[in-house]
Amino acid sequence: MSAARFAVTAIGNAIVDIIGRCDEDFLARHGAAKGSMRLVDAETVQRLYSEMGPAIEISGGSAANTMVGLASFGGKAAFIGKVADDEFGRIFRHDIGAAGVAFETAAVSGKAPTSRSLILVTPDGERTMNTFLGISTDLDQAEVDAATVTGAGVIYLEGYLFDQPHAMAAFRHAAALANNAGRAVALTLSDGFCVDRHRNAFLDFIRSDVDILFANEAEIASLYETANFDEAANRAAADTKLAVLTRSAKGSLILADGVRHEIPVEPVVEVVDTTGAGDLYAAGFLYGLTSGADLATAGRLGSLAAAEIISHVGARPQTNLGELARSRGLIA
Amino acid sequence: MSAARFAVTAIGNAIVDIIGRCDEDFLARHGAAKGSMRLVDAETVQRLYSEMGPAIEISGGSAANTMVGLASFGGKAAFIGKVADDEFGRIFRHDIGAAGVAFETAAVSGKAPTSRSLILVTPDGERTMNTFLGISTDLDQAEVDAATVTGAGVIYLEGYLFDQPHAMAAFRHAAALANNAGRAVALTLSDGFCVDRHRNAFLDFIRSDVDILFANEAEIASLYETANFDEAANRAAADTKLAVLTRSAKGSLILADGVRHEIPVEPVVEVVDTTGAGDLYAAGFLYGLTSGADLATAGRLGSLAAAEIISHVGARPQTNLGELARSRGLIA
């Protein structure tokens, strides 16, 4: 196995987030389940946008956020995902590149627009996402650059892409490339409802291709159809080499080689916006893992990055995470 | 004089801000004077954007920010300004409308894009603006809706528009309409360099048409070509009925009918981004003035709104300013 050019290459939806505040009633009126991600069509995204309050635009996308977090720690990261040749596509490309992440997937003209997610943040800081998957759904096998995949120590895949048959094929292709090259394959389940929509496909893929599984409580409960967290965790540990399970305020649990590591959360003064908490936990964990930290330290790096991201609006870090981790003595 | 439909109608540049952090070296390398606004062409905005770090997009525009602040206090506000029929134009229109400000100026297709300002925030929280005046420069007299102007108690004009001959004519037209209808005309000088570029035009306009003048120290120094603040303040008081002068950390000074009101600043835990400090001071002041508060209270409302805006990124309030002012006992 040759030396890796990137610590991690991620494949995911390239999205610009449109983030605004709303009250619980607004979610109820629009049939949005708090804390979830739902896919909406162009008409619904238009209607919701016209009814929501003032917003700000920040680049997002789950796996893209993770790669930006990894780069902020000082890790070498690449991203594969699809944008259109439009204003939001230019914003996405600028922001991920300026954060130091390699992003070479070509923009597409004259088809669907760049994907966007209307993110509604309630007073408790919880985010509810309404995603219009414009051009993202178009990602296909041909756009998964083999050198970018096999040139990374870990290939990180975003579960949201399971909602798109084209992208699923691209996923399997990337996993096969990575496995053949002796690279590790990581998957994040992304969302409980998404897991519910594609449970069997997820299970098959995890058992056949995945080395590292990231999930939160709702996602792992949905995957194994049990509300018993310990049972779900044990099944995840049986299905993958390394299971990384986040539990919001209860911290996280890492299971590997029959050992359980319980990781506390990093305290936060005020939870402003939970968008990206899981994405940034994954960033910290993957940075630790790919830079030789032990699993407990990798988990604490995840907690630290998650704490930074939920203390402000948006899912891209506003602090240099490497410096932050050094100031805490977590990395040298 | 009939009852006003709006407390204030503003005319200004309709802009989306692209806000990112940079160090002092970056400003020096790009020849940008810290704290200023400079106009840049399409090529320069492209180059700067490609070299700046990750950014977020938030609706802006000086007078537009002021109207959004006024609406957040509970005042009735309208805005006249020009956007293109593009993504940034839709963002601007959504955000100002969702904030409760009437905005009826039609979007323009197939000409210049919606105006944008690259705002670089240094570690001290100071903002430096690089503005590409796309379609904004196209605002002309025909687009200044007479009913929207004469239907407001105060017409508020943004000095930045002096950089555009077309817009200057629209200004004079609006001021004439307002004066004929017995409405008050307010002007903000906007920027010291802008005043320097158009000193005589500003002085003529102030002496002939302006009732209320807003300026900061640099702007008033530039207008009267003196570094002596008291001298400049006295000259402003002689030239207008009401001079409202902001002095950053030194608070503000209001001069009217031979009386000086010195207003303290509102304390801020951390200055995150000074973008919009003057705009929001004007919002608080105009809300107070148009809702019957005395001048000292109007000034304190200005200080309060300015403190809110500099405690976070972006020039649009993240708090309901009316509730904030009530919690401080400044309004009933």
What is the per-residue pLDDT across B79-109, written as a single tens digit (0 to 9) for each? 999 999 999 999 999 999 999 999 999 999 9
**CA A53 – CA B74 distance, rounded (Å):** 15
Question: A224: which residues sit within 8 A by CB, 6+ positions away?
Answer: A231, A232, A235, A236
The continuous run of DSSP H or E covering A58 comes out as strand A55-60
Q: Does the beta carbon of B87 lie under 8 angstroms from any beta carbon of chain A?
A: yes
CB < 8 Å to A59, chain B = 54
Please give the residue that has the higher pLDDT: either B194 or A93: A93
| HSE of A293, CA atoms in CB hemisphere, 13 A | 23
* pLDDT at residue B1 greater than cutoff 80: no
Tell the residue number behind the tokens 């509810």, with chain if given.
A128
Q: Which CATH architecture has domain A6-13+62-109+137-327?
A: 3-Layer(aba) Sandwich (3.40)
What pTM did the predictor assign? 0.94
Going by pLDDT thresholds of 50, 70 and 90, the confidence category of residue A167 is confident
- At A162 the pLDDT is 87
User: Contact, A252 vs A302, CB < 8 A?
Assistant: yes
CB < 8 Å to B68, chain A = 54
Q: What is the pLDDT averaged over residues A307-322?
A: 95
From B49, B91, B98, residue closest to A94, measured CB to CB: B49
Question: A19, A65, A91: which to substitute to probe chain B, counting the most B Cβ within 10 Å?
Answer: A91
Q: Alpha helices, DSSP H only, in chain A?
A: 24-29, 42-51, 62-73, 87-98, 146-150, 165-180, 192-197, 199-209, 217-224, 229-239, 277-290, 295-310, 321-327
By percentage, how much of chain B surpasses pLDDT 70?
99
Going by pLDDT thresholds of 50, 70 and 90, the confidence category of residue B328 is very high
Q: What is the pLDDT averaged over residues B266-288?
A: 95
Q: CB A49 to CB B94 under 8 A?
A: yes
Q: In the predicted model, what is the mean pLDDT of chain B?
A: 95
Q: What is the DSSP string of A234-285?
A: HHHHHHSSEEEEE-GGG-EEEEETTEEEEEPPPP-S-----TTHHHHHHHHH
Question: Phi and psi for A322 in degrees, rounded to 5?
Answer: -60, -45
Question: Both tokens of residue A162?
Answer: 């399971």
Question: Both tokens of residue B217?
Answer: 């120290």
The region of weakest confidence among A166-170, A174-178, A218-222 is A166-170
Minimal CA separation from B173 to chain A, in Å: 31
Q: CB A57 to CB B86 under 8 A?
A: no
Nearest to A133 by CA among A237, A13, A1, A279: A13
**Edge-to-edge strand ranges of the sheet holding A212-216:** A102-103, A77-80, A6-11, A152-158, A184-188, A212-216, A242-246, A252-256, A259-263
Minimal CA separation from A229 to chain B, in Å: 38
State which amino acid sits at residue B225: E
Q: CB B98 to CB A316 under 8 A?
A: no
Nearest to A251 by CA among A262, A260, A238: A262
Q: Does the beta carbon of A42 lie under 8 angstroms from any beta carbon of chain B?
A: no
Q: In the predicted model, what is the mean pLDDT of chain A?
A: 95
Q: What is the DSSP letter of B249?
A: G
Going by pLDDT thresholds of 50, 70 and 90, the confidence category of residue A138 is confident
Q: What is the pLDDT averaged over residues A153-178?
A: 91
User: Contact, A115 vs A19, CB < 8 A?
Assistant: no
What are the pLDDT digits (tens) for B2-24? 578 999 999 999 999 999 999 99
How many angstroms separate the Cα of B192 from the Cα of each of B74, B166, B187, B220, B302?
A: 31, 21, 14, 8, 21
What are the pLDDT digits (tens) for A7-60? 999 999 999 999 999 999 999 999 999 998 999 999 999 999 999 999 999 999
What are the pLDDT digits (tens) for B189-224? 988 989 999 999 999 999 999 999 999 999 999 999
Q: What is the pLDDT averaged over residues B245-254?
A: 96
- At A257 the pLDDT is 93
**CA A32 – CA A51 distance, rounded (Å):** 14
**ipTM score for this prediction:** 0.93
* pLDDT at residue A3 greater than cutoff 80: no
Say what the alpha-carbon torsion angle B297, B303, B307, B310 is, to the nearest 10 degrees: 150
Question: A18, A26, A59, A87: which to substitute to probe chain B, counting the most B Cβ within 10 Å?
Answer: A87
Question: Both tokens of residue B272?
Answer: 């995150």
Q: What is the pLDDT averaged over residues A129-153?
A: 92
| HSE of B235, CA atoms in CB hemisphere, 13 A | 16
CB < 8 Å to A56, chain B = 56-58, 314
Tell the residue number behind the tokens 């319980």, with chain if given.
A262
Going by pLDDT thresholds of 50, 70 and 90, the confidence category of residue B241 is very high
- At A91 the pLDDT is 98
* pLDDT at residue A2 greater than cutoff 80: no
- At B16 the pLDDT is 98
What are the pLDDT digits (tens) for A16-26? 999 999 999 99
* pLDDT at residue B166 greater than cutoff 90: no
What are the pLDDT digits (tens) for B37-72? 999 999 999 999 999 999 999 999 999 999 999 999
The residue extents of the domains of chain A are: 6-13+62-109+137-327
CATH 3.40.5.50 fits B6-13+65-90+99-110+136-327, yes or no: no
- At B2 the pLDDT is 59
| Shortest CA distance from B95: residue in chain A | A54
Question: Both tokens of residue A118?
Answer: 């209307």
- At A266 the pLDDT is 96
